[in-house]
């Protein structure tokens, strides 16, 4: 099976979509996690807010995955 140039470029774009979302999530969670641990050291009852703020950046990875799937579908890869 041979792959066309368009499909190869689309595959790279799909990979970059997931990579960008993962890097963005990691950078966001590094700051949120350290601030959250500081907050929990002083006020342990605020754990719900800390978990919520840690989960919100995970949507970046989900958006990246959806975009990668849309790219792959439009290029005929999957």
pLDDT in tens, 11-60: 999 999 999 999 999 999 999 999 999 999 999 999 999 999 999 999 99
**pTM of the predicted protein model:** 0.83
Residue corresponding to tokens 């890097």: 23
The answer to whether 57 and 35 are in contact (CB under 8 A) is: no
Question: What is the phi-psi region of residue 76: left when phi exceeds 0, alpha when psi lies from -120 to 50, beta otherwise?
Answer: left
The answer to whether 57 and 18 are in contact (CB under 8 A) is: no
Residue corresponding to tokens 């689309």: 10
Tokens for 40?
A: 């929990």
For the chain, domains (ranges, CATH) are 5-73 (1.20.20.10)
- Taking the C-alpha atoms of residue 3 and residue 6, their distance in angstroms, rounded to an integer, is 8
């Amino acid at each position: 099976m041979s792959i066309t140039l368009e499909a190869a470029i689309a595959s790279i774009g799909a990979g970059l979509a997931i990579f960008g979302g993962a890097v963005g999530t990691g950078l966001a969670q590094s700051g949120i996690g350290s601030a959250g641990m500081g907050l929990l050291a002083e006020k342990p009852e605020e754990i719900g807010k800390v978990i919520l703020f840690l989960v919100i950046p995970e949507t970046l990875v989900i958006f990246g995955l959806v975009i990668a799937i849309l790219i792959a579908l439009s290029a005929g890869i999957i």
